[in-house]
Structure 1
Amino acid sequence: MQEELIKQIVEKVMQNIEGYQQTSTEIPVEVSARHVHLSKEHMTALFGDEAQLAILKELSQPGQFQYDKRITLMGPKGSISNVAILGPVRKDTQVEISYTDARTLGISPPLRESGNLEDTEGVMIVAGRRVVNIDKGVMIAKRHIHMTPENAKVFGVEDGQQVKVRIKSQRPVVLEDVLIRVSEKYRLSMHIDHDEGNAAAYQPGMTGEIIK
């Protein structure tokens, strides 16, 4: 956490130095494993309240973290255990899985941008002996890039745009329809799921580049 904080401070200072410009076209790539964002209602139903959970680690996006507890997802055909819970709590519960996970569970969730829960699938969420049955909220998250407005200027893109990205690895691939998400609260990072990561032979530290 301390190293991450120092890196963020250095980046912010550099951005404020007169004449500084981002010159690198490299975008850090991260694999976003299956996870759940719980609403306050469902957090309470499964764990009593949020106070029963501690923060296990901070994530790359500022203010985002992983709790120390995990849950199990149960579908019509199977279950997936040891699923991470990310915080902070949200207005609505959202479950993000891969297409492979969906087949294991026996459901057909849509490909969606985070937060768009209309006409999504439901699933059972289990924590010990406690169970919550949601009727919507399960999705395959669209691959996307978090970036600041300053990053967007450098790359010549805007919020909501979709681009092609070449993943640089021993098994390079080009991913299309990568969603650009711009906010002052973000830190530059591309998120793909495990299926996409496996296709590109993902290794930590891997980067991508937007194809013009």
Structure 2
Amino acid sequence: MTAAVNNRERAAHLGPERRRPHVLDAALAIAAGSGTTAVTIGSVAERLGVTRPVVYACFPDRVALLRALVQRERDAMVARLLDALHTARGDDPQSAFVTGFRHLLHMVEEHPDTWRLIFAANPDPSVSGVVTEARQAVAASATRWIGPALQRWWQTPDLDRKLPVLIELFMSAGEAASRSLLAKENDWTADDLGEFYGQVICSAFRAA
């Protein structure tokens, strides 16, 4: 009771701009633990120990709150994925794929709540478009890297026709690897799982 009162008193001294990051952090924790359907104005207020009007001052409704949350985490996720792509360089294709997948999975370990939100099996309909946009942005960057690499490494025949299919395979593998790492029954390390996925995807791309 005392903590809740103190939180409400502190909240009164924060303007909406300064409070929004705290509201989004609370919403992320709720979404990661219970799914986006559990994110409501009331649940966020309860987690922060404030009243609902405090949260409403930041976001007019739960849809606006969810969209802001997914957009924030999407931007962070895209930046991390692009960072993972940039590490996958060099003349040894298997080493490049392994390095990229390892880097990706270490970022998943460091920011599991973001990945659970973005890769939710059933995303909230109100934010599914934002998630799709994130995937498209990463796919476009992957295409710019993978296309020239396949040409350099293996002179892949009929590359223009095959590349969209290979990019879809690459994206799906990254999502599957992330879900596998976060699964409760997982007993892989990020390095071992990254090596496994890197070798498998490299072999598939070589075969193409």
- The structure in which a higher percent of residues are strand is 1
Does the pair score TM above 0.5? no
TM-score normalised to structure 2 length: 0.26
TM-score normalised to structure 1 length: 0.26
- The structure in which a higher percent of residues are helix is 2
